[in-house]
Structure 1
């Protein structure tokens, strides 16, 4: 009799990373860790599941059967992007028993009597009447609530009473600080609760889209959401505690960075909305001792030691003219163009479809954005909003045109657009560093022709050549990324209060300081190769781009998922 030969069955894991610009995916051989296939699709912000579905379709287009997939893991910058762009649910924060008031960037910060002592004894009776009045005043202005009581980690009674009272008046989600953090620091504990409240609706929508995409692809494998601490969580946990996905993308970034073979290095992920910086030491990601910090939010969310700030390929380019008297000898003033990047992400012109010719609405001194309708909206939703109705009737429009059509203007119009963008009912498009890279021939993921139209309009309004404009936009993006890296390094050497004045005054009218970074940089992200070489040169260090760096976060997500059940974590 011949020998019975057991057929080797290959198993695969899928890693997905949903970023501000692109949704990336990889198909990873579970045994060999080989990246069998990779895919990149534009992120569809109005319905994230569309982009995810397209990536899954590409990954499974060969002879890979859905039943061969043993796990799907997802990392996302959804939470971090929402925070740095000030999007997400409208949150009302109620604080009990804290004398020194603090302010978080949310809809309302209200301070009432109450709270407990460090022994757990009541400090002051809870101001129930003030609580009830506050909730009645907020219920039409907020989408969720966060409550934080003094020493609630010792005695949560006031938070639990408040939760019950709020629910009776306004049945919306309520997040108690003692349930999301066990640390005594009240401001950071309140911020952690607020972030859960702010991000939960976004996470519910995102995870629902993942489920639908899997169903359409015939996948029925376990799903893991990558958390900021480099571990995985199930869908239910990610919904209940949405802020644990803060630094999800950077956690996958750090894991992928470990594959580069550098024992100690800075990992820099240049995305569409943000640049994320973290560090590996002795071949492993460094964890934060105090909780992650995203922009101005300092939290108790367990995460890798990282820093995320607004600034990436899709940052909105705003141009204006000012006067600089130092440019001419003898005290004369010369007009020069001023180019800056806003924190807000917009859809690059090269990635936008069916928009008016940028030369008709783009120019110096304007808001330089066009509002795009979302086609999937129901007739009922559109008919109830004059902005949506105008967009459906007349197509994409800039702010000036919308003012003429609706009568709305100024801050009122901008606030209405912010709300519609949060509800994923409109999209904004404008000129970005990604467009500048297309014009310069350094990137090719969209329409170069449309980017050139935008560059031509801006350059003409600034009396510059197209090339000079685009080079200055790229230089501004490089300067922003360099600043984010130095912010991260400065906070590792000094505390925030010490680092901030030093970093803000490195280049002034009397002297200029230059920094030599002692560790190499590992670049991740499709645009990283376009920006980081010049940044590394200015910082007097080196930069490397490992294989598959363009989809590095998706690889990192798949590796984290695999390691949940492995005892050997080596590559």
Structure 2
């Protein structure tokens, strides 16, 4: 979708949604692939896929404070206070009482819970006594963390809501970047007053003004987004070099980005620079608020298309299908050496006397299988790229009887040949 809307063929695509931000590399119209799988946080999927890094950062990421010292954004998702107050008037009433109390606490107090499950959808047999009390207490409407603890005879430290949230029986709401966008006027969709009170309560916990809190949240989001992009690029460029300690470099990049956003960021003796060779392509409704700062720091251009908020829908229509197929060729060895070759495709096995005949057959089989797979995914017309990879094994040097000082090298041993076909084509809309 990003390529279709911008007309670019290469770049770094950043899609910022409600729960996560996804980052992908594109070169010459094709996504860069990762043999070790996509990265989600610090985890690798282990399945060959498009090279994507996912970070728990979006418009609905929960904003908390850590023991009244600093902000933490995500990866937990929450419904924005501005949205919740528009749907449930009692949320605004409870927020006002929390602000009037002017209570400081090591736990973020301006968080609420409400029921989302439907009667009869879940069995109550597996619920603990506390979980059942939580559901009963929320039957009349949303409650703040403290009010929920009081109604269930518990404390805010002993509230076990995680399992009910995972089962989607209850939903958490709290201060989010979407609420901050209500305060700046960038997204005035719901109840601004709830966002103001939620921000004031958070500012009280951190002993800062509301304006300082807004600036800190904006900078924190930019820092997290920029750090994820830097980590993605470093991993792509240097991951095959075992001598590189990338964690320290990523940390340095994060520090430099933070300094870049500070008012005195340019008044330093040391001004390291980081340059990105391709443009940043921003997608998602809130991306225009955060990505320009990252692009300036990385000294690259930025392209946010007019319809960035619906790029995923555009991509579903204009995107390309890619299907791959591999055919394996194995030698048949005897005492005298190689006596023939066996070809293994997905559908059949054939025997050949020469390697050239085996490769010709493998190329034909791989192309047919790749085209068939692409057609099954909706691409009736596809271009096919073929590659032939011969694999040999190096043999350790052997003793040279005529010159013991210089070992005699042995010829490499042929192991196999892998023929791969990659079919790429656009989806035929009539197929949909």
Establish whether TM, by shorter chain, passes 0.5: yes
User: How many angstroms does 1:522 deviate by?
Assistant: 0.6
- Aligned match for 2:76, one of 344, 368, 380: 344
Matches within 5 A, 1:267-416: 267-319=13-65, 338-352=70-84, 353-354=87-88, 355-357=90-92, 358-361=95-98, 365-368=106-109, 369-374=111-116, 376-378=118-120, 385-393=132-140, 395-409=141-155, 412-413=158-159, 416=160
Looking at structure 2, the residues matched to 317 and 376 of structure 1 have their Cα atoms a distance apart, in angstroms, of 28
Alignment check: 8 A CA contact 1:276 1:306 kept = yes
Instruction: Find out whether 1:553 has 2:367 as its counterpart.
Output: no
Looking at structure 1, the residues matched to 11 and 4 of structure 2 have their Cα atoms a distance apart, in angstroms, of 9
Deviations 1:146-187 (A, max 9, x none): xxxxxxxxxxxxxxxxxxxxxxxxxxxxxxxxxxxxxxxxxx
User: How many angstroms does 1:533 deviate by?
Assistant: 1.3
User: How many angstroms does 1:488 deviate by?
Assistant: 0.6
Please provide the CA RMSD for this pair. 3.1
- Aligned match for 1:455, one of 199, 203, 206: 199
Deviations 1:463-498 (A, max 9, x none): 433222212111111111111111111111222872
TM-score, L = length of structure 1:
0.48
Matched position secondary structure for 2:190? coil
Matches within 5 A, 1:157-556: 255-319=1-65, 338-352=70-84, 353-354=87-88, 355-357=90-92, 358-361=95-98, 365-368=106-109, 369-374=111-116, 376-378=118-120, 385-393=132-140, 395-409=141-155, 412-413=158-159, 416-495=160-239, 498-506=245-253, 507=255, 513-556=272-315
Deviations 1:416-457 (A, max 9, x none): 311101111000000011111111011233332321221233
When residues 456 and 520 of structure 1 are mapped into structure 2, their CA distance, relative to the original with a 3 A threshold, is same
Alignment check: 8 A CA contact 1:382 1:389 kept = no
Deviations 1:326-371 (A, max 9, x none): xxxxxxxxxxx62221311111112222152223347663323211
Deviations 1:503-551 (A, max 9, x none): 1244399978542222110100001111111221222222111232101
Corresponding residue for 1:179?
A: none
Matched position secondary structure for 1:467? helix
Corresponding residue for 1:57?
A: none
Deviations 1:13-34 (A, max 9, x none): xxxxxxxxxxxxxxxxxxxxxx
Alignment check: 8 A CA contact 2:81 2:194 kept = yes
Looking at structure 2, the residues matched to 264 and 273 of structure 1 have their Cα atoms a distance apart, in angstroms, of 26
In structure 2, list runs of 5 or more residues that go unmatched. 260-268, 322-376, 383-424, 428-432
Alignment check: 8 A CA contact 2:180 2:214 kept = yes
Greater share of strand = 2
Looking at structure 2, the residues matched to 342 and 293 of structure 1 have their Cα atoms a distance apart, in angstroms, of 17
Corresponding residue for 2:363?
A: none
Deviations 1:208-230 (A, max 9, x none): xxxxxxxxxxxxxxxxxxxxxxx
Alignment check: 8 A CA contact 2:319 2:426 kept = no
Alignment check: 8 A CA contact 1:258 1:283 kept = no
Matched position secondary structure for 1:356? helix
TM-score, L = length of structure 2:
0.62
Matched position secondary structure for 2:59? coil
Q: Aligned pair count?
A: 300
When residues 320 and 380 of structure 1 are mapped into structure 2, their CA distance, relative to the original with a 3 A threshold, is closer
Corresponding residue for 2:413?
A: none
Looking at structure 1, the residues matched to 156 and 203 of structure 2 have their Cα atoms a distance apart, in angstroms, of 26
